[in-house]
Structure 1
Amino acid sequence: PWDRGVLILDETGFLKKGDKSAGVARQYSGTAGRIENSQIGVFAAWATAEGHTLIDRELYLPSDWVEDRERCRAAGIPEETVFLTKPQMARAMVDRALRAGFRPDWITADDAYGHDGKFRLWLEEIRQPYVFAVPSNEYAGLNDGKVRVGSLTGGLPPKAWRRISAGTGSKGPRVYDWAWTAVDHLYEKTWTRRVLLRRSVSDPSDISYYLIFCPVATKLQKAVEAAGSRWRIEECFESAKGEVGLDHYEVRSWTGWHRHITLSMMAHAVLVISRAKVFPTSAASGKRKKPSSLADLKKKQRERPV
C-alpha cells in the first residue's frame, strides 16, 4: 500500500537569529507568514491512504550566498554548490524519488512550483501526471494559442461545475465546486493538459486555479483528490516540528542542517508507519480507527500486551 501515492512538493521556514547559519537571509517564510530572517528548506512528501511523511529535503541557498564563496566555506557549503531555484530543487527531488522506485500517481505543489513551465514540460516528457496550483494570470495553451487561466471562468456553463469533497480536513469534508476544461491534447491524443478550477461554495468569487497533465481517460474526481492532497505536506511539517523536533536545532553548518533534518525525517517516518500498524485504516470507510496523534500512539502501545 506504500508503493503508490502522491508526491507533494513544498517548502517550510526555520526562523533564525544572526547571519552565520547556512542559507539564512531575510526572505519570505510561510512559517511566519511574512519576510523574516530565516532558512528555507524545500521538501518532498509521500502520501498514501496509509499515511504521509517527508522523504527528501534540500536547504535553499539565495543567490547572494552562492556568490559569496568565503561565506559558503565558513558555513561548510560544498565548493561545487551552484544556485538553484526552488523548482529546480524540486525537480531534482522528483528525479531522485523516481530513481529510488517511487511511482507517483500524481505530483502536486503550490504555485511557487506550478508556475515553472520548464518543470512542467519535463514532467510531461516523462509522462508523469501532475496537478499544480497556479495564479490566475498564468497562461495555458488553448486552440494553438495562449489564454490566461483566470479568463476561463466566464466561459463555463453552470452544468460544468460539480460539488466535490477534496478530502477530509480538521473541520470535516473540504467541499468546493469544481470544473475543468481541456486546453491541449498531446502524445497521439492519449494525454491532455487541463485547467482545473476550484470555487468556494460560500463565496463564488473565490476561485483557485490548477494546471493538470494526465491521461485523457482521467476522471474529474481523481484530479480533485490529487489537488486536495497537497495539504498533507503541511500536516507533515506540523507534526514533524511538534513531535520529532524538525525545527529544534542549534547547528549553523550546511552538513549540520542536513544531518538534523534527515534524522528528524527518519523519526517522523517511523511514527507514521507505527501509527498505520497500530491504528489501521478501515477498508470500508477509508478512515483511521482512532486519532493518530503521538499521545494516542504512546497510549495504544502501553496497552499492548508484552
Structure 2
Amino acid sequence: VTADEAYGQVSRLRLWMEEHDIHHVVAVPKSQTVITMDLGQERAHRLIADLPEQAWERLSCADGAHGPRVYDWARADIRPWREPGKGHWLLARRSITDPEELAYYICFADENTTLVELARVAASRWAVEECFQAAKNETGLDHYQVRGYRAWYRHITLSMAALAFLVRLRQGVQKGDQNTPRACV
C-alpha cells in the first residue's frame, strides 16, 4: 500500500480479509468501482446517489470533542456472489450541514449486521486517528529520521509507550490517585 492509497482501495487486502473471515469496514474514495447486485459495475458515488431518501438514517455513532457526531448513513448491497450468511455493502456517511460531503466504505460482515453497527465501526476510526494525532503532538510519533525497520519500530514503540504513560498519568491526576507516578520536573 503506497502513501496515496487508502487501505480500502486495495482489493487484494479486502479479499484476503474475507478469505480469513475478518469482518471489516474500510474507507474508499467516491470513485471506487463496486459490483452491483445486477452484476454490473458502478462507482460508489453513483450507486449511493441512486438510493431513495428513505434509505438514509440519522445516527449518532460516536461522541466527538463538541458532543455527539451525528450523520446520515445509508448502505447498498453489493457483490451478489457471496458466501452464505455473509453480507457485502457499500456504506455512505453524509454530513447533515453539507449534504454534498459524503464518505464511502466497503463492508463485509455477517448478513444480519445492522446499519447502526456498520456506522459504529466506521466511526471507531476517529478514536484511532485522535490517538495518533495526540502521539504526534505529545510524544513525537512523526519525528523520526531512520533508515531501517528496527530503528523505526523502536521509535514508534517508545513514542506509543510514552503516550500510554501520559494518559495514565493524566487519569491519576484527575482522580487524585496516590499511586500514580508523578512527572519529574
Measured after TM superposition, the shift of residue 156 of structure 1 is 1.3
Superposition deviation, residue 184 in structure 1: 2.5
TM-score, with length taken from structure 2: 0.83
Distance 1:194 1:271, change over 3 A: same
1:133–1:210 contact (8 Å) kept in structure 2:
yes
- 1:244 is aligned to 139
Question: Does residue 1:187 correspond to 2:60, yes or no?
Answer: no
Q: What code does the residue aligned with 1:145 have?
A: G
2:26 and 2:99 mapped to 1: Cα distance? 21
CA distance in structure 2 between the partners assigned to 1:123 and 1:267 by the alignment = 32
Deviation at 1:224, TM superposition (A): 0.3
User: Are the aligned partners of 2:93 and 2:104 in contact in 1 as well (CA < 8 Å)?
Assistant: yes
Matched residue type, 2:115: L
Cα distance change, pair 144–245 in 1 and its aligned pair in 2 (3 A):
same
Correspondence for 1:80: none
Task: Decide whether the 8 Å contact of 1:111 with 1:133 is kept in 2.
Answer: no
Aligned to 1:113: 7
**Distance change (3 Å), C-alpha of 1:257 and 1:147:** same
Partner letter of residue 130 of structure 1?
H
Select the structure that is richer in helix. 2
Q: CA deviation at 1:194?
A: 0.3
- Are 1:171 and 2:66 matched, yes or no? yes
List aligned pairs for 1:43-122, cutoff 5 A: 85-86=1-2, 112-122=6-16
Structure 1 vs Structure 2 CA RMSD: 2.4
Report the Cα offset of residue 153 of structure 1: 2.7
1:256 maps onto 2:151 in alignment? yes
How far has the Cα of 1:270 moved from its partner? 4.5
Read off the aligned partner of 1:180 and give its amino acid letter: R
> Any residues of structure 2 matched to 1:1-306 within 5 Å, and which?
85-86=1-2, 112-142=6-36, 143-185=38-80, 186-188=82-84, 190-248=85-143, 252-254=146-148, 255-272=150-167, 274=168, 296-297=170-171, 299-300=173-174, 303-305=176-178
Q: Work out whether residues 48 and 76 of structure 2, in 8 Å CA contact, stay in contact via their aligned partners in 1.
A: no
Are the structure 2 counterparts of residues 225 and 111 from structure 1 closer, same or farther at C-alpha, using a change threshold of 3 Å?
Answer: farther
Counterpart amino acid of residue 182 in structure 1: D
Contact 1:183-1:193 at 8 Å conserved across structures: yes
Shift of 1:111: 6.2
| TM-score normalised by the chain length of structure 1 | 0.52
2:182 corresponds to which residue?
none
State the Cα distance separating 1:298 from its structure 2 match. 5.3
Percent identity over paired residues: 40
Secondary structure (helix, strand or coil) at the match of 2:30 reads coil
Match for 2:33: what amino acid? Y
Distance in 2, matches of 1:159 and 1:128, equals: 30
The one-letter code of the counterpart of 1:299 is V
